[in-house]
Every structure is written in C-alpha cells, then in structure tokens.
Structure 1
Amino acid sequence: MAFQIDAQAAYVLHSRPYRDTSALVDFFTLEQGKVSAVVKGARNAKSKFRAVLQPFTPLQISWRGRQDLKTLVSAEAVAAPIFLTGSSLLCGLYVNELLERLLQNINPHPKLYVYYQYVLNELLSGEDIEVALRVFERQLLQQLGYDFDFSRCLPERHYCFHPEQGFYQTSPMNRAAFPSELLQAMSGEEYSQADVRRTAKRLMRQVFDHLLGHQRLRSRELFTKINT
C-alpha cells in the first residue's frame, strides 16, 4: 500500500506540464519542506485542481507515494489567494524560484515557512519590499547552513567578499569594498540606510549566484526585461 500524508499546509512554488494532461508541481509545505508531486489530469479543463493550484494561495494538500516524486491526492484553498501585482509579483516569483531551486525534497524548514508567509504579506502591502526580501534571503541562507561571518569585520576597515572564503580586508580604494560599518548594520538587519540595503543586495546576489552555479534566474530575467 502506498504511503500517504494528509492535510499539509502548503503553497505552490512552480508547475510544469507532465505527460499528456498532467502537471508536475513543486510545493513548499510547513512540515515536509519542498515536495514534488504529479497532479494527474491537472491540465484538463474540468480538473478539480486546475483553479486551486496557483502560486501564493494558502493550501491544504495530501499526497501518496514513497519515492521523491509523489502523487497529489487532494488540494483545497484554506484562505483567499494573495494577489500580487507589478514589482511585488515579480519579487514573489523570485522568492518562489529560490525555494524551488535551492531546497531539497522532503527536508523540513518550518521556520522558513513562517518567513515565507511574512515576505508574501510584506509584498502584498508593498510598503518596504526591499527590506522584506533581504530578511527572507538571510533566513533562507541560514536554513541552508550558510551565513555571513561578520565577526571578522573590524571597525573602520574595508572588506571584500568571496562566497567560499568569506570576508577579507582590502583597500578603501577598491571599488568592490564594503565599509565595515555597513556590514555591521547588515549583521543586525538594520536596513534603514540606503547604503546598507545596497550592500545587502550585492552580498545576497553574490551568494545566491554561487549556490545556483551561476544559472540564470527566470524571475530576474523577467524583471530586467520588463524594466528596460
């Protein structure tokens, strides 16, 4: 008998066609982490899953199967969808793509799930999208076992960063250098200054590009295309 997991809180990260009428869907779940499941007949016009399996919709799902690739049994929305538009939508797609690409299947991250809900709510409000993204990115890195060692950054000095080696001291004349006061502010997640936000964005991008093997993010390309 196939092993079945019931009533799991989840969001859709990504969906793609699978065979003739089905879909392969990556979910981010509260208790199991990322789960990939076949949704049989999902692309049929009369499919019960067609309308509900949309990004940014809080779901409750059940699946069966003992292998990495599961089969979805049921899915229902438990709250209204979060309707993102414009830059918020693109940022939401970016967050989903990071999770889809970097998380391993069936590896629980309940704390990150809470931060995922946080960033979606912040994107919906649209008040401070940039700070919300930096906070979420930092949490994602920590859950992946990767974080910045700011303890090496001494006052009144300048540092460059390498994803594998960390921070190393450099000349203030180096265009790639970060002043230590900006790094310490980032350490405490004090993002009120524009320079700190720019520093955090540069560092996050360096690390994620490294973790992704420098593969291009579809969401980032879409954002660039729309804004050019």
Structure 2
Amino acid sequence: MVTILLVEDEASLSGYLKNELQFENYEVLIANDGEEALQQFQANQDQINLILLDWMLPKIDGLGVMRRVLKIKQVPIIMMTARDYIGDKVAGLDNGAEDYITKPFEIEELLARIRVILRREEQNHKTAPDHFQIGKFVLDVKAKALYFGAEIIKLTPREYDLLVVLLKNENQVMTRDELLDLVWGVNFEGDPNIVDVYIRYLRQKIKHDESLIQTVRGIGYILKVDENKNEA
C-alpha cells in the first residue's frame, strides 16, 4: 500500500483530495499545518512514500517543512500552491521538490504526476545496486548519500535521480531529451534547459572531480571516469 502525506490547511480541498486519493487505493495521512506535517512525518516516515505539500501553511510554510523533512529522509514531494510566479517554482525545485502543481488543478493531472513519480521510485528500487563507485566517489543507494572519502556531499532528490541515471549509463552519451524523460518524466512541460541547470548543480557538488560529467556538444552529457587520473 502506497502512503501519501497530504499537507493542506484548506479543509474542503483536503477532504476532496483525500477522497480522490483513497479512491485510487492510496493510504492518506492528513496534516493541516506545518508543525503537524513534521509530526506526522517523524511518526510515520518509514511508511510515507510521497508528500503532497501546500506552500502557504500556518505555523511553518511548505518550504520550511520540505527543508526539514529532507534533512531527515529523502522522500518525493509535490508542491501545491496558488503561487505561479516562476521564482517560487524554481525555489521549490531547488530546495528538493520533485514536482510543482499550481492551483487550481485538475485531479487527473495530479494523479498522473503522482503515478510518474511512484513508477520512477519503484524502478530505482528494483534496478539500483546498493552502491556505485565513481572514481573516488561512492554513492550509497539505500541512504541516497554521496561520499568523497569521509565527506558527505548532500544531494537534492532531483540531483540524486540525475546522478543515478548517468551512473546507470556510464560511458554512454545521454541526450537532453533522454535525461528529461528519465529524470523529470515524459509529461514534463517545463524548460528543457533545466537539464543543463542540474548538470551544473551536480558539477558544483562534485567539485573534487568536475570532469566526471562531460559535455558532448550539441548532444548531451556523458559520465566517464578518467582511469589514468584515478590511478594517479
């Protein structure tokens, strides 16, 4: 059973979404403000598969809730908000949200986005090994943590997903369209340049060896370990 934590302070919308999600056979936990959301998550983090998170919440806003949740555990989060300013969307995604949906929205669109994320999570769990060795880096799949020796390098959920896709296709050139489909989903309608943005984020995180991710001009990117450099 997939469990979704629904964080929404508008009672009518919360009740409606709960009924629709339960009709789709999801188990739903409800929180009406930011503090309750954190309490629910801390009490049920092992069961929660996804969070639907309103931005404008009493006590602690959605961005604050997301930041605290992701310090505890990496879990996919869809932000729900009436704010359609592009800067807000960027802030949500940069702070770790998997997706962003603007109110008012059709329930079918929300359910489709949920299915895409859950399928991707399930596929990652099925196919990913326990860890990847990338030159002098180690990616722990279970902990979703990247290590450089004893140093822990924090990744957002999107950065993690992008790095896993590149690792699974090591030494293969991945086009921007392929990366968009595999990381953001085939229904992504945003700016395709988001791939370049997140590649830059990853390179900044792995500054010990930025050459791991190489640009193939006009095509996309390749993750390639320089064995000679690694031996040195």
- Scaled by the length of structure 1, the TM-score of the pair is 0.30
- Scaled by the length of structure 2, the TM-score of the pair is 0.29
